[in-house]
Amino acid sequence: MPKKIKIISVVGARPNFVKIAPFCKSLMRLNETASHILVHTGQHYDHKMSQEFFDALDIPKPDINLDVGSGSHAVQTADTMKAFENVCLEEQPDWVVVVGDVNSTIAATLVAKKLGIKVAHIEAGLRSFDMTMPEEINRRLTDSISDLLFTHCSDASQNLLNEGVDKEKIKMVGNIMIDTVVANLEKIEKANPCEKLGLKNSEYCFVTMHRPSNVDAKDKLESLVSTLSILSKKLPVVFPAHPRTLGRLKEFNLLEQLKSEPALKLLEPVSYHTTLSFIKNSMLVITDSGGIQEETTFLGVPCVTVRPNTERPVTITDGTNRLASVDDLLESVKSVMNESNNHEKKALPPLWDGGTADRIVQVLIEYHE
Ligand code: UD1
C-alpha cells in the first residue's frame, strides 16, 4: 500500500474558513489515503470572526493555532512565517495547501516553498490588476511559486497562462466556496434572521463593507455612510460591520449617524448561515467582499460591488454583479431596483456545482501516487 499523503492546510481569516470546510470533509472521507493537519494562523481571532465559522461549518478544531493576531502587514506576515516554519520542520508534510489571498496565504506559501515542500493554491489565478490591493500582491506572489494551481473558472486559468505558468500546473476544478453554499442550503433556509428584525423577504438591502480602500479614508467612509442613510429611507438596510469598519466608524465619529437611522440595522459580524440567509432573501446586496460577489451570482441575487475593479469578472459577465463607485452607488442601486422584476436567470459558470473539494483532493492524490 502506498504511503499516506500528508497534507497541512492553512487558514487565517474568515473567508478562508468558508473555503476550507469542504476540503476538510473530502479529506476525512479518505483517511486511509491521506492524513491532514489543519493550521489556523490566528489572523482572525474574535469569536464571531473565527470560532463561530468553525462551529457552523463543522470544521474540525485546528490541530495547531499559531495565534499571530492583528498587526501591520509586515508584522502579521512575518509572525506567521516564523511560527509556521516550526510546524513544517516538525511535521514534514508532502503538501501545504493554501486558500484565497490573505496575509496567511502568502506567509505559509513562502515558508513551505523555501523548505522544499510542495504548495497547492486553492482559488488561484484571480486578478484585479490593481497592485494597490494587498490581496493582489498576495495572489500574484502565491501563484508564482505554487506547484499546483486550482482555479475556479476559465478566466482565472487564462490569467495564469498569460503570466507564463506551465499549463500542467493549472487545474480548473470549480468554485470551492459554492461547495459550502450547496452543503448548507437547508441550514441557510432555516436561519431566517429577517423575522427577528421585522424585515420582509426581497424588501431590504444587505450591505458588507471592509476593504481598507473603502473604510480607512475618512471622506470615503463619510460618503458611504451618507449614501446608506439616504438609501435606508427608501429601502431598509442590514449592515453587519466588520471589526475594521466598526473601528473606523468610531474613529471618524460616524457611528451615531448610522445608528440614528431607523431603517438601518447596524449589526455585529453575523454567522455564515445568517449571512447567506440575509443575502438569499434580499432585494440586492451592496458589498466590497470578494466571496459575496460569487455567492450572489450563485443565488441569483443582484449585487453592487463598491470597487473600481474585481478579480472575479465572471460574476459580471455570467452573473448578477456590477461595479460602482461610492459616488454613483445610489444610481446603481436605483437601476437594480428598477430591473429587479425582470432578471433573466443566467447559467452558472462551469463546475460551480458543489463538487470542487472532491476534485481537488483527487488531483492531490493522483500527484502523490
Ligand atoms: C483580511 C484580508 C482580506 C479579507 C478579510 C476578510 C489580508 C491582507 N486581508 O482583511 O483580504 O477580505 O480579512 O475579513 O489578509 N480584527 C478584529 N478581530 C479579528 C480580526 C481582525 O478586531 O478577529 C480587527 C483588527 O483591528 C485588525 C483589523 O480588524 O487590525 C484588520 O484585520 P486583518 O486580518 O489585518 O485584515 P482584514 O481587514 O480583516
Residues 153 and 255 in one domain: no
Distance between CA atoms of residues 73 and 70, nearest Å: 9
Known catalytic membership, residue 368: no
Q: How far apart are CA 49 and CA 306, in angstroms?
A: 22
Distance 244 CA to ligand 1 centre (A): 7
CA of 14 to the centre of ligand 1 (A): 8
**Alpha-carbon dihedral sign for residues 269, 273, 275, 278:** negative
Q: Is residue 224 domain-shared with residue 141, that is, in the same domain?
A: no
Pocket test for ligand 1, best of 244, 268, 270 (most atoms within 8 A of CB): 244
pLDDT score of 282: 97
- 57 and 135 housed in the same domain: yes
Residue of minimum CA distance from atom 3 in ligand 1: 102
Ligand 1 atom 7, closest CA: 102
7-28 exposure pattern, b = at least 16 Cβ within 10 A, e = fewer:
bbbbbbbbbbbbbbbbbbbbbe
Is residue 240 located within the same domain as residue 102? no
Query: Is residue 180 assigned to a domain?
Result: no
Q: Are residues 214 and 78 in the same domain?
A: no
Parent domain of 76 = 5-175+352-368
Distance CA 278, CA 276 (A): 5
User: Is 57 a domain residue?
Assistant: yes
Q: For residue 141, how many other CB atoms are within 10 A of its CB?
A: 15
What was the pLDDT predicted at 347? 85
Q: How far is the CA of 368 from the centre of ligand 1 (A)?
A: 35
Residues near 140 by beta carbon (within 8 Å), at least 6 away in sequence? 127
Mark whether 201 and 249 lie in a shared domain. Answer: yes
Same domain, 155 and 264: no
Task: Yes or no: say if 176 and 15 are a contact pair by the CB < 8 Å rule.
Answer: no
Ligand 1 centre to CA of 150 (Å) is 24
∠ CA 126-279-50, nearest 5°, is: 70
Listed in order, strand segments (DSSP E) in the chain are 5-11, 34-40, 64-65, 95-99, 118-122, 148-151, 170-172, 205-207, 237-240, 264-267, 284-287, 303-306, 321-324
Q: In the structure, which protein residues have their CB atom closer than 6 angstroms to any atom of ligand 1? A: 13-15, 43-46, 49, 70, 101-103, 134-135, 210, 242-244, 247
Per-residue pLDDT of the chain (369 residues; tens, 9 = 90+): 678 999 999 999 999 999 999 999 999 998 889 999 999 999 999 999 999 999 999 999 999 999 999 999 999 999 999 999 999 999 999 999 999 999 999 999 999 999 999 999 999 999 999 999 999 999 999 999 999 999 999 999 999 999 999 999 999 999 999 999 999 999 999 998 999 999 999 999 999 999 999 999 999 999 999 999 999 999 999 999 999 999 999 999 999 999 999 999 999 999 999 999 999 999 999 999 999 999 999 999 999 999 999 999 999 999 999 999 999 999 999 999 888 665 566 789 999 999 999 999 999 999 887
- Identify whether 39 is part of a domain: yes
The span from the CA of 294 to the CA of 56, in Å, is 20
| 211 CA: nearest ligand 1 atom | 38
Q: Which one is catalytic: 44, 121, 210, 242? A: 210
Residue with CA nearest ligand 1 atom 19: 44
pTM for the full model? 0.96
- DSSP code of residue 94: S
Give residue 42 CA to ligand 1 midpoint distance, Å.
11
Q: What is the CATH number of the domain that holds 242?
A: 3.40.50.2000
